[in-house]
Amino acid sequence: MTHIDWIVLSFTLLFIVIYGTLKTKGSADVKDYILGNNETPWFTVGVSVMATQASAITFLSTPGQAYHDGMGFVQFYFGLPLAMVVIAYTFIPIYHKLKVFTAYEYLEQRFDVKTRSLAAILFLIQRGLGTGITIYAPAIILSALLGWNLIILNIIIGVLVIIYTVTGGTKAVNVTQKQQMFVIFSGMVITFVIILNQLPQHMSFYNVLKIAGANGKMDILDFSYNPETRYTFWSGITGGFFLMLS
């Protein structure tokens, strides 16, 4: 890595952690810690949700998946907006009406503390495994670039996230993920420009898309009912809907 790479990496990490910690330092109570005292702008919350959905796994795996299988996997995301609409009109009003902060509070009110505890434990196990993979994936990339020990990198990444999350709660997560989304979009734009500049002189972007289309890589929609087809509109709309709903 060059000096400019080190500067960008160090500045980005330190800025996000310090900014998130100072901006949201000292959450006074549980309501402030979990709900951000209801002061977080809707735009910040929306961008934070986008950053949560588009984790490091997404940006590391999606390009390879598109290269190998084509753009058909995009159909999987068609169920996402439908799930969000159902959640917004079905579950969120219940939360507001009952004045609960989490789904587990609702489960305790609706059933009992045993049901709440079981659901919470299962969720923690699921998210513990999922978060471990989410941290491990970018650590592999950084380990290859920096030559650092993989275990040390996992610890560093985990500690940095824990610092501002524990300090500021949900508000800190929303604020820092908004900054992370800006970094992600900036990186995507810069990467796209670099790729265009690296194309052979006789090869334009249109030619690249044409070649990809000729090889079936640009076939996004597939309305067939063939159960052996990996990605179809119908499997994407149903599978994506129930997965995002969960």
What's the pLDDT band for 118 if we cut at 50, 70, 90?
very high
Q: Is the pTM of this model over 0.85?
A: no
Question: Residue 85 corresponds to which amino acid?
Answer: V
Whether residue 184 contacts residue 24, with contact meaning beta carbons closer than 8 Å, is answered with no
Whether 108 has a pLDDT exceeding 90, the answer reads no
Asked which of 16-25, 93-102, 232-241 is least confident by mean pLDDT, the reply is 16-25
Could you give the CA distance from residue 15 to residue 12 in angstroms, rounded to a whole number?
A: 5
Q: Work out the widest C-alpha separation in the chain, in whole angstroms.
A: 68
Whether residue 233 contacts residue 78, with contact meaning beta carbons closer than 8 Å, is answered with yes
Could you give the CA distance from residue 241 to residue 82 in angstroms, rounded to a whole number?
A: 6
pLDDT, tens digit, 9 for 90 and up, residues 44-69:
777 777 777 777 777 777 887 888 87
Residues in CB range of 222: below 8 A, 6 or more apart: 72, 75, 229, 231, 232, 233
Q: 3-state DSSP call for residue 218?
A: coil
Q: 3-state DSSP call for residue 172?
A: helix
The dihedral of CA 137, 139, 142, 143: what is its sign?
negative
What's the pLDDT band for 117 if we cut at 50, 70, 90?
very high
